[in-house]
Chains A and B, each alone.
Chain A
Amino acid sequence: MNATRRTQNAERRKGARTVAVLFPFFVLRFAFCVLLLVLWHLAVIVTATTIFPSPLDVLRGLTELPHLAAYTRDSLFRVSAGYLSAVLLGVPAGLALGWWSSLARAANPLIQMLRPISPLAWMPLAVIWFGVSNLAPIFLIFLASFFPIVVATMNGVRNVPPVYVQAGRNFGLSTRALLVRVVFPAVLPRILVGLRIAFGVAWLVLVAAEMIAVDSGLGYLIIDARNAGKRYDLVVGGMLLIGFIGLALDALIRRTEKLRFVKWSFSE
C-alpha cells in the first residue's frame, strides 16, 4: 500500500518536474492573468460601453482614488476593533461553554437564535445605541465575528480527545490549570481555523456596513464613487483594493497556523 503510494508520488513528482521545466508555475499564473486582462479589455471595446471601465481606466482610477489613506485607515481601525474584541470575548466564552455542558445547554438556544440573524440586520438598532459613529460598524463587525468564534471554540473543546483531559487530571491539575494547560492548547488549532472563517465574515460585513452606515472607509468609497457621478473606474479600483487588503490580512492570519505549538495539527 505504502509502496504504491510512493511510486505514485514519485511519478507525480516526475510529471510535475517536466511541466515545471516547460511551464514554471509562475509563467502559467502570469499567462492566465494576462489572458483575463486582455479578455476584459476586449470585452469593453467590443461592447463599446462608455460606463464600464477597461483595466487601464481602473489603473488610472487607482491613482486618483480620493482620501485613499484615510479611508483605508478607517476601515482597518473598524475591522480590527470589532474583530479583536470578538476574539477576546469569544474565545473564553467558547471555552467555558464547551467545558460546562449545562452552561451550554442553557445558552445554546439563544446562540443558535442570534447567530443566523445577519449582522447587518442589527444596523437600525446599532444606530439607536451608538448613533452614526465608528461604534455602530464596530458593533456589527463584533457581532459578525463573535458567534463563529464562540461556536468554533465550543465545538473544539467538545472534540478534545478525552485522553488528554484524563492525563491532565491524573497529574493533579485543577480545573483552571486543566483549561489553560491542556484544553486551550488542544483546541488552539481549531480556534485558529474558526478565527480565519470569522475574519472572512467580518471583512464582508465591514464593507456592507460602510456602504450603509458611515461616510468613510473602503465600502463608502465604492458606493460614493457610483452615486457621485457613476465613476465605475473608481468602483472597480476600490473593489480590487478591498480584495488585496483582505488577501493580505488573510495571509497574516494564516501565518499563525505555522506557529510551533499548533503545527502538529496542520502538517499533513
Chain B
Amino acid sequence: MRHFLPLTGILLFLLFWHVLVATSPGTLVPSPLQAILGIVELAEKGLLVRYIVASLFRVTWGYLAALLIAVPAGVLLGLWRRGEVAINPILQLLRPISPLAWIPIAILWFGVGDLAAVFLIFLASVLPLTLTTVNAVHNIEGVHLAAGRNFGLTTRELVRSVIVPAILPQLIVGMRITVGIAWLVVVAAEMIAVNSGLGFLIVDARNAGNRYDLVVAGMILIGAIGVLLDLLMRALERLPGVRWGYAAE
C-alpha cells in the first residue's frame, strides 16, 4: 500500500501521455512505448553507453576541478575580509553571466571538443561553490572559532579541525544544487558546442530525420541520470559527520 499512490501517479501520467499521442493523428511526439524502444535502439547501436560516458566524463571533470579550486578559495575569502571585499564585485558580475554565454569564448580557446565543454561546466560550478563556501565560513558560530583558539590551535589546525567540519553541511547542500546546474549546462553545451553526448543526441536525432522517439529517449536518460546524481549528493547528507547540520529539517 505504501507504493500505491506513487505508482498510481506515474501510471496515470503514462496513460495520459499514451492516450494523448494515440488521439492526435500525425503528431511527431512518440508514445511512451516508442520512447522505450528508442532507448533499446540506442543500446543496440552502442550509442547509449558512449553518449552517457561522454556526458558524465565532462560533468565529472568540470565539477571536480571547480570543487578543488572553489573550496580553498572560498575558505580563504571567508576568513580574509579584505580579499573578499576586493573580489566580491567581480564575482557578483560574473555570476549572472549564463555559463552558456561563454560558449563562443570556450570554443575560441579550446576548440570544438571535450575541453570546451569541461570548461563550461567548470565555469557553471565554480562560482556557486565559492559563494556557498564563503557564506558557510561566515556562518560558523563565533564560539566554535573562539573555542578552537582557546585550545591553542594554529590557523592550519583550526581550518582542518574546526572550519572544514563546520562548513561541510552547508557546503554539501551547495554541492547538490550545483550538480543540478552542471547537469543542465552540459546538456546545453552539448547541443551547441560538441558532437557527442546526450545533449548532442537530442539535437542530432531531431535534425537527422525527425527521430522524435530518440529525442524523448534522450530526455528520459537525462532525467534518470539527473536523479541519480541528486541521490548521490543526498547520500552525502546522511554521512554521520554532517547530520547535525540538517537536524531541523
Contact = CB atoms under 8 A, between A and B. Distances in A.
Q: In the complex they form, do A and B come into direct contact, defined as C-beta atoms under 8 angstroms apart?
A: yes
Interface of A: 1, 4-5, 8, 16, 19, 23, 25, 28-29, 31-33, 36, 51-52, 102, 105-110, 112-125, 127-128, 144, 159, 197, 200-201, 203-208, 211-212, 218-219, 222-223, 225-226, 232, 235-236, 238-240, 242-247, 249-250
Contacts of B99: 204
B181 to A, nearest CB: 7
A116 B226 contact: yes
Contact of B223 (A25, A29, A117): A117
Contacts of B13: 110
15 contacts: A105-B6, A116-B223, A120-B188, A123-B202, A124-B206, A124-B212, A201-B184, A203-B96, A204-B100, A204-B184, A208-B188, A211-B103, A212-B192, A222-B101, A236-B105
Interface of B: 5-6, 8-10, 13, 27-29, 81-82, 85-90, 92-105, 107-108, 124, 142-143, 146, 177, 180-181, 183-188, 191-192, 198-199, 202-203, 205-206, 212, 215-216, 218-220, 222-227, 229-230, 248-249
Q: Please provide the 5 A-B residue pairs with the shortest distance between their CB atoms, ordered closest to farther.
A: A116-B226, A246-B96, A207-B98, A118-B187, A106-B9
B216 to A, nearest CB: 8
A203 B89 contact: no
Contacts of B94: 243
A121 B202 contact: yes
Contact of B218 (A121, A219, A232): A121
Given A51-B108, A106-B5, A123-B191, A114 B223 contact: yes
Contact of A242 (B85, B92, B98, B180): B98
Q: With a 10 A CB-CB cut-off, give which of A1, A4, A120 has the most chain B CB atoms.
A: A120
Contacts of B6: 105-106, 108-109
Contacts of B98: 203-204, 206-208, 219, 242, 246
Contacts of A112: 227
B140 to A, nearest CB: 13
Nearest to A236: B105
Given A116-B230, A117-B220, A124-B212, 15 more contacts: A4-B142, A5-B143, A108-B9, A115-B226, A116-B225, A118-B199, A123-B202, A159-B248, A204-B98, A205-B188, A207-B100, A208-B191, A239-B102, A243-B95, A247-B92
Nearest to A23: B82
B87 A243 contact: no
Given A29-B85, A117-B219, A120-B191, A244 B93 contact: yes
Contacts of B102: 239
Contact of A243 (B97, B104, B218): B97
B82 A116 contact: no
A22 to B, nearest CB: 10
A33 B90 contact: yes
Contact of B10 (A52, A109, A115, A197): A109
A29 B103 CA distance: 28
Interface of chain A, helix or strand or loop or mixed?
helix
Contact of B104 (A25, A28, A201, A235): A235
B96 A200 contact: yes
Nearest to A116: B226
Contacts of A51: 108
A116 B180 contact: yes
A23 to B, nearest CB: 7
Contacts of A125: 29, 212, 215-216, 219
Q: With a 10 A CB-CB cut-off, give which of A52, A117, A218 has the most chain B CB atoms.
A: A117
Contacts of A200: 95-96
A155 to B, nearest CB: 8
B169 to A, nearest CB: 16
A121 B96 contact: no
Nearest to A52: B108
B200 to A, nearest CB: 11
B142 to A, nearest CB: 5
A118 B226 contact: yes
B222 A246 contact: no
A110 B223 CA distance: 11
A113 B32 CA distance: 14
Contacts of B198: 121
Contact of B8 (A106, A206, A243): A106
Contact of B181 (A124, A201, A240): A201
A135 B104 CA distance: 26
A125 B217 CA distance: 12
A226 B104 contact: yes
